[in-house]
Amino acid sequence: MKGPNPKNEPDRQDTLEVERVPAGDLEKVRSQEIEPAAPTNGSRNVFIGTLNVFVGPMRAFIDPVKKVCYPTLSAHWDSKYKRPFAHHAWKVLIFDLVLLFLAGFLTVSLILVYKFLTPVSPPDRVSVMLTWPDEVMSGTEIDLVLSYTNRTDRTLKDGRMTVELPDGFVTAEPDRTNDDSEPRRTAAFGLGELAPDSTGRITVSGSAYGSPGDVLPVLIRLSYWEDGQAKMTEQTAYYEIPVDATPLEMGFDFEQPFLNDTVNKILLTYTNSGDRPVNGVNIRLTPPPGFEVSGSAPRFSEPLTWRIGNLTPGETGKLIFFGRLAYGETPSFTAVATTAGIYDDQKMVLNSIHGNADAMTTGFELSQDMKGVSSLRPGETLTVAVDYANSNVPGTDLPIRDVVLKVEVDGDYLAPGVAPTAVWSAETLPELKELDPGQVGHLEANFRIKEGIGPWETEGIEGAMISVTTTAEYRFGDSQTRIFRTDSVTSDLPISTAMNIDASAIYRTESGDQLGLGPLPPTAGQPTSFWIMVALDNGTNPARDVQLTAILPEGSVWTGRTNVAIGEPLIHISDERKVVWRIDDLPAFAGWFGPRPTAGFEIEFTPTRDDVGTAPNLVEYLTMTGTDAVTGVRVTSEAQPVTTGVRFGSIEERQGLVR
């Protein structure tokens, strides 16, 4: 017997032996190869048939992909895993897949975080903050804690904190004016040097006054010197302190039925529910239009005012007055309780209530809400939310029918075309046809404030203000003739000022005097100097701490030549390519009468060949910020970039296209 043939060639010395197969057996084998297998138990396999229906089309798709991808993947497996890691190829592959999964998970997470979640801004490096107790009770002493922080690595010199207190806050140790007649509303504290990474606090003690729901605005300023700066830096913060409760509770009680054109009796009760005396209490009554007072018990101490005096804890009292309300007027009354302040003739509000006789009779509740808005900006849209309900007076269980709701806004400061009234009735809102006991509803109306308010629109008043009142007319129960009327408390919203920027490039004055140098329009590779002129105007209220910032692009070079008509000299911060103009106080309607507040600075610009055919920016970005002195709102304004297109000159020069 021979050994194996190393060349794998046929061994021609061996012979192939063949055994003959009968023809019948051969045919039997062939028939078994081409015929399908017999079904088990005499029936077809339904599962296999169904599986083939799905697998067949899948194979038609997978096979071409497999032919393309399999050789590449196989080669990658061999080169990256099988040959380098012969005994651990599968372990290394699994490890790589885990790393790939983690990398993908982190990528998706980062995309979600930056795309959909609100970014958290880093805290200011120098900041000031105000805190106060969780509950503020009118007339009760509280501590206002002013905290300041220096998170920089530098010492800030001559720190000073100024606090503008509201009319409704009286300090425990108040300053007085020279005649001791009025409180001073600004408190200042010298802080000295603010060490690096340091904090501090100042406590201002005093009593907060107001009716529950009122807010007391507080404006805080922290100023200090920084090395290398030509002016003190200032940080501001604005807060609104809500009045949560009052020790002096009041309530109206109307004699039923309350009828128009008939003398009615009205009871006003008061209680000192606090744990300390309340001294020098006065209660002032404000009746509705068309109401004629015919008497009171006790008598008014002065027109529509009772002098109650001092109230001990738990002491109660009642006031009665009589009068006739003209037909068609709304039976709504307001009472304001005040206490004597520490200054001459000072009256501090403890509580204010609003009562409606028809609401007490029918149980119809009506309220309006400004959604947290306490002041408005020009051009802003005010949303008034109205809530109403049939609260079902005990013992009546009657529906309220044919309701007409109306929101009325002063039309003087609304944008053109905006109606000052929004009305809903059963014709527009079928559910107002009949409100069953316990039924409630919610509506909203939008009013857009005009963009600009001129001085002629605020003549004789201090600032612009929007007043909003919601009223309702309806029938109660089976009454077919009498119309009941209910209204909400009127909301007064001041309108903050609006500041505007007008900036342009000047090469020649309007009269033709040349200010700039170099070719105009600019020529690539050659310098041209321009003057950037900035003019401001202001709206209805004075603005404080106004700052205009202009950012210069890479091609604009600061020459140092400047002029200003108001405020401080311009500052150029070279490493930030920033020009800053500060104005401590910008008067109301500045720029409306007389010359506009202006400033100018010269820059030199050398265009490149890439700028040919375009009007490049000389100033990239202009923004102005300030604080409304009336509303305390932070006001901002922006302007378009200033290009090489000059304000005065030929058409070609005004286009400013680089040659």
Round to whole Å and give the CA distance between 205 and 591: 41
H/E stretch holding 103: helix 89-116
pLDDT of residue 186: 77
pLDDT of residue 52: 58
Q: Are residues 477 and 531 in the same domain?
A: no
> Which residues, in sequence order, are CB contacts of 595 under 8 Å at separation 6+?
565
pLDDT of residue 38: 47
Lowest mean pLDDT of 24-33, 81-90, 230-239, 386-395, name the range.
24-33
Q: Are residues 650 and 513 in the same domain?
A: yes
Domain boundary among 314, 333, 362: 362
57 pLDDT exceeds 70? Answer: no
Round to whole Å and give the CA distance between 412 and 387: 26
Tally the domains of the chain. Answer: 4
Q: Are residues 211 and 135 in the same domain?
A: yes
Minimal CA–CA distance to 190: which of 214, 215, 222? 222
183 pLDDT exceeds 70? Answer: no
Q: Are residues 490 and 504 in the same domain?
A: no
Which single residue is written with the structure tokens 């701490």? Answer: 545
Domain boundary among 460, 495, 530: 495
Q: Are residues 651 and 527 in the same domain?
A: yes
Which structure tokens are listed for 103? Answer: 């990398």
H/E stretch holding 65: helix 46-77
Q: Are residues 533 and 635 in the same domain?
A: yes
Round to whole Å and give the CA distance between 290 and 172: 43
In the chain, the percentage of residues whose pLDDT exceeds 70 is: 83
pLDDT of residue 178: 39
CB neighbourhood size of 581 (10 A): 23
CATH number reported for the structural domain that contains residue 601 in this entry = 2.60.40.1170
Label residue 409 by pLDDT band (50, 70, 90): very high
Q: Are residues 329 and 385 in the same domain?
A: no
- Strand ranges across the sheet with 440-448: 364-369, 381-390, 440-448
Minimal CA–CA distance to 418: which of 403, 404, 407, 432? 407
Domain contains 162: yes
423 pLDDT exceeds 80? Answer: yes
pLDDT tens digit sequence for 270-310: 999 999 999 999 999 999 999 999 999 999 988 999 999 99
The SS3 assignment for 578 reads: strand
pLDDT tens digit sequence for 555-585: 899 999 999 988 889 989 888 889 999 888 8
The SS3 assignment for 522 reads: coil
Q: Are residues 390 and 474 in the same domain?
A: yes
343 pLDDT exceeds 60? Answer: no
Give the range with max mean pLDDT: 245-254, 363-372, 540-549, 641-650. Answer: 245-254
pLDDT tens digit sequence for 12-32: 444 445 555 555 555 555 555
Q: What is the mean pLDDT of the chain?
A: 83
The answer to whether 350 and 335 have CB atoms below 8 angstroms apart is no
Label residue 34 by pLDDT band (50, 70, 90): very low
Domain contains 98: no
> Could you give phi then psi for residue 52, rounded to 5 degrees?
-65, -30
345 pLDDT exceeds 70? Answer: no
180 pLDDT exceeds 50? Answer: no
Domain contains 12: no
Judged on CB neighbours under 10 Å (0-12, 13-18, 19+), 374 is middle
Q: Are residues 529 and 649 in the same domain?
A: yes
CATH number reported for the structural domain that contains residue 148 in this entry = 2.60.40.10
pLDDT of residue 461: 67
Q: Which long-range contacts (CB under 8 A, 24 or more apart) does 554-558 make?
A: 555/605, 555/606, 555/607, 555/608, 555/611, 555/616, 556/603, 556/604, 556/605, 556/618, 556/619, 557/603, 557/604, 557/605, 557/606, 558/601, 558/603
pLDDT of residue 120: 45
Lowest mean pLDDT of 48-57, 219-228, 426-435, 594-603, name the range.
48-57
CATH number reported for the structural domain that contains residue 277 in this entry = 2.60.40.3670
Looking at the DSSP bridge assignments, the partners of residue 472 are: 405, 486
The answer to whether 527 and 567 have CB atoms below 8 angstroms apart is no
Round to whole Å and give the CA distance between 162 and 340: 27
Please give the average per-residue pLDDT across 154-165, as a whole number: 88
Residue 567 is given by DSSP the state S
Lowest mean pLDDT of 2-11, 46-55, 184-193, name the range.
2-11
Q: Are residues 504 and 604 in the same domain?
A: yes
Domain contains 30: no
pLDDT of residue 62: 62
Domain boundary among 208, 242, 276: 242
Q: Using DSSP bridges, classify how beta strands 381-390 and 364-369 pair: parallel, antiparallel or unpaired.
A: antiparallel
pLDDT of residue 25: 59
CATH number reported for the structural domain that contains residue 424 in this entry = 2.60.40.740
Which structure tokens are listed for 388? Answer: 């109403």
158 pLDDT exceeds 50? Answer: yes
Please give the average per-residue pLDDT across 354-370, as a whole number: 92
Query: DSSP readout, 122-186?
Result: PPPSEEEEEE--S--BTTEEEEEEEEEEE-SSSPEEEEEEEEE--TTEEESS--B-TTSSSB--E
Which residues constitute the domain of residue 223? 126-242
Domain contains 131: yes
pLDDT tens digit sequence for 618-632: 998 889 988 888 877
Q: How far apart are the first and last CA of the chain?
A: 100
Q: Are residues 408 and 462 in the same domain?
A: yes
Q: Are residues 345 and 420 in the same domain?
A: no
Please give the average per-residue pLDDT across 90-116, as a whole number: 76
pLDDT of residue 40: 47
Which single residue is written with the structure tokens 């100042």? Answer: 202
Domain contains 484: yes
Amino acid at 390: N
pLDDT of residue 410: 84
Domain contains 183: yes
